[in-house]
Amino acid sequence: MIELAMVPVFLPLATFGVLAVLWPLRHSGMPAAWLSVASALASCVAAILAWTGAPVAGEPAQGMVFDWLVHDGKTIAEVGFRLDAISAPMLVVVTFVAACVQVYSLGYMAHEPRPALGRYFAWHSLFIVAMSGMVLAPNMLQFLACWELVGLCSYLLIGFYWDKPSAGRAAVKAVWVTRFADIGLMSGVVLLYVTTGGFAFEMTGDSGAATLVAALLFCGVMGKSAQVPLHVWLPDAMEGPTPVSALLHAATMVAAGVFLVVRAWPIFEAAPPVLTAMTWIGAVTALVAACTALVQHDIKKVLAYSTCSQLGYMVAALGTGSFFGGYFHLTTHAFFKALLFLAAGSVIHAVGTNDLREMGGLAKKTKLTAGLFILGALALAGVPPLSGFFSKDLVLEELLHAHAYGPLLICLAAAGLTAFYMTRVVCMAFLGPASARSLEAHESPPVMLLPMGALALTAAVAGFTTGRFGNDVALAPWHFAVTAPGVAALLLALGGIALAYMKYGQGKLAGLGVPALAAFIRSGPVDGLFVRGWQQGLRPLAGVVGWVDRYVVDGAVNLFGWAALVGSERMRVLQSGKLRDATYLLVMGALVVVAWGAIGGVR
């Protein structure tokens, strides 16, 4: 079974290698795409098969590792693959969504120039390699390496459109923010090594060290999984192609932070203060992001902030001391959010714009897309029997069980808002009178609709896999009861849907809302804070440091040069070429030497 688990790493790696080296193949366009899609599908099949034979909770992990860092005969770190109850499901999720996205891309990206297409699929393959390598990592060091590689793929794919300067800026911004967060992450890894002598996902020693390590690791999580305030890169990442947004910035990469916490659970378990902080940070993120999603005009930005909000749910759930809720919500969210993004891509493909205000009445023209989108929206809102209901219910139950009442209430509010803003999108895009653009819209080709359908299926039924999941990770019975928080969330969601439908679908309740606040939120206040911090804090500091570097450090070095130059200019006067001056110097020199000898000798 472990051999099957290695397929998602090696097969796409071979694909990437081939596409990178054989540029005629890469420039050929569709053949390159088919190669990549084939390897993605094969990886998905292999991952599913590996999952069926993977160990369940309590059984030892299957692994294949090789010594990597050896010091004094002792192995400090290994590289390889570890298949267990935690990594197997995640591998399935990653490869499945990746395969769907790649098939979808065959249609969505078909009009791209051929070399660009090859480039696109090559990087997609690399992403699968990196993500699989991270999921199957046996220790923190390989995990970190693959984490950075995933970040690289994100950069490459966000900045895919080389003719859009905003895309380049967004890619760099993503790297900046996650890099900044990774300072904490890497410090945490180093500290882990210092305190435990290795990079394994466990913690020995006192809880103080564990708390510090967990806190530092969580810094990295905040960046990668877009928790407030390090979430600012995620909306900008929408500059990339929509399939990329679906795969990386909804389903898999942003979930890597959540997965880190699950993977390194022994470390986090030993750090209760960090867990408490996580519930609050996650809850606040959920609410703030949901509010921001409420006022966006760009359909992809709504989904981006929605992703951010759901990531907040996952983090809050993890903070309760049980990782199952967060992990389960990760998987269901991957399915329905990827579906939503692909459907949004289908909409954009149909009308040629991202702006919701230019859409309307698309339900008539693009029935399938509309239906799939609405299904995804309902899953996200948490309507049973779709999977979103089960996972959100689980999250709220865990919060209640952990007596985290504050975060619980915040998350409930966010649930209502989630339903509201998704209904808003549905109304603005699909219902109501058709706009000028909508009249010319056309349905997407099957190659795009089929993956969406597959994802819709999983989004619908994944909620019922908790049984298998439960066997995997040994859950307590109270996880499966439908309790008060779940019901409350459902009621709030239905209320949100109703309100939004009344306002945006039927045009009543026009006075609901605060336009000034909406405009303020749209202006990106958190970004503004960062910019102000840079302008007023870092830049003057950098100026001072730069001044020191230029005038003190360089000055010291230049001093030698300057001294040599000036000294030689002064000395040059002596070389007048005149006989008498030379004679004078000769005499004085001889005088000095003789005097030295005479006086020294006499004494």
Partner 1 sequence: MTAWILFVLVAFGTLVSAVMVVRTADLVRAVLWLAASLVATAGLYALLDAGFLAAMQLLLYTGGIITLMLFAVMLVRRGPEAPTAGLIANPGRALTASLAVFGLVAFTVAEAGLPTEPGAGGSPSAKLLGQVLLGPLALPFEALSVLLLAAMVGAIALARRKDPEE
Partner 2 sequence: MNGPPLEAWLALSAALFAVGLFGVLTRKNLVAILLGVELMANAANLNMVALGHFRGTPFGQAAALFSIALTVAEVVVGLAIVVLLARTHKSVDADAPSEMQG
Q: Which residues bind partner 1 (CB under 8 A)?
A: 576, 578, 580-581, 584, 587-588, 591, 594-595, 598-599, 602
- Scanning the structure block, which residue is given the tokens 């300057």? 562
Whichever of 481 and 573 has its CB closer to partner 1, that residue is: 573
* Cα–Cα separations (whole angstroms), residue 210 to 203, 215, 423: 7, 8, 43
CB contact at 8 A, 276 and 367 = no
Contact partner at residue 71 from partner 1, partner 2, none, CB < 5 to 8 Å by partner kind: none
Q: Which is nearer to partner 2, 542 or 594 (CB)?
A: 594
Determine if 70 is a binding residue for partner 2 (CB under 8 A): no
**Cis bond leading into 165, ω under 30°?**
no
x/- map, 514-553, partner 2, by CB under 8 A: ----------------------------------------
**Number of residues that make up the chain:** 603
Choose among partner 1, partner 2, none what residue 577 binds, the Cβ cut-off being 5 to 8 Å by kind. partner 2
- Identity (one letter) of the amino acid at 501? Y
Shortest Å distance, C-beta 576 to partner 2 = 6
Which residues lie closer than 8 Å to 389 by C-beta, 6 or more apart?
Answer: 379, 382, 383, 463, 486, 490
Q: Does 570 bind partner 2 (CB under 8 A)?
A: no
**Residues 516, 572, 600, 602: which binds partner 2 (CB under 8 A)?**
572
Task: Count the neighbouring beta carbons within 10 Å of the beta carbon of residue 599.
Answer: 9
The three-state secondary structure class of 411 is helix
Give the tokens for residue 143: 């995990």
> Using CB distances below 5 to 8 A depending on partner kind, what does residue 575 bind out of partner 1, partner 2, none?
partner 2
Cβ proximity to partner 2: between 512 and 566 the closer is 566
Q: How far is the CB of 600 from partner 2 (least distance, A)?
A: 20
Work out what residue 588 binds among partner 2, partner 1, none; the CB cut-off runs from 5 to 8 Å by kind: partner 1
361, 398, 127: which is closest to 241 by C-alpha?
Answer: 127
Pick between residue 73 and residue 577 the one whose CB is nearest to partner 1. 577
Does 567 sit near partner 2 (CB under 8 A)?
no
- The piece of 367-375, 408-416, 457-465, 569-577 that touches partner 2 (CB under 8 A) is 569-577
> Is-contact 235 304, C-beta < 8 A?
yes
Q: What would the two tokens of residue 321 be?
A: 């001391």
Q: Is 576 a binder of partner 2 (CB under 8 A)?
A: yes
Whose Cβ is closer to partner 2: residue 559's or residue 591's? Answer: 591
580 binds partner 2 (CB under 8 A): yes
Cβ–Cβ under 8 Å, residues 87 and 135: yes
Position 583 contacts partner 2 (CB under 8 A) = yes
Does 587 engage in binding with partner 2 (CB under 8 A)? yes
Residue 602 contacts which entry, partner 1, partner 2, none (Cβ below 5-8 A, type-dependent): partner 1
To the nearest whole angstrom, how small is the minimum distance from the Cβ of residue 556 to partner 1?
35
- Partner touching 506 among partner 1, partner 2, none, CB below 5 to 8 Å by kind: none
Report residue 196 as tokens: 């435990």
24 counts as binding partner 2 under rule CB under 8 A: no
Question: How crowded is residue 2: how many other Cβ atoms within 10 Å of its Cβ?
Answer: 17
Measured CA to CA, the distance from residue 11 to residue 46 in angstroms comes to: 10
User: What DSSP string describes 169-228?
Assistant: HHHHHHHHHHHHHHHHHHHHHHHHHHHHSS--S---S-HHHHHHHHHHHHHHHHHHTT-T
Q: Check residue 590 for interaction with partner 2 (CB under 8 A).
A: no
Q: Is 578 in the site for partner 2 (CB under 8 A)?
A: yes
Q: 224 Cβ partners below 8 Å, 6+ apart? A: 147, 151, 178, 181, 253, 254, 256, 257, 260
Closest among 235, 284, 7, 300 to 125, alpha carbons compared = 7
The yes or no reply on residue 577 touching partner 2 (CB under 8 A) is yes
Interface residues with partner 2 (CB under 8 A)? 572, 575-580, 583-584, 587
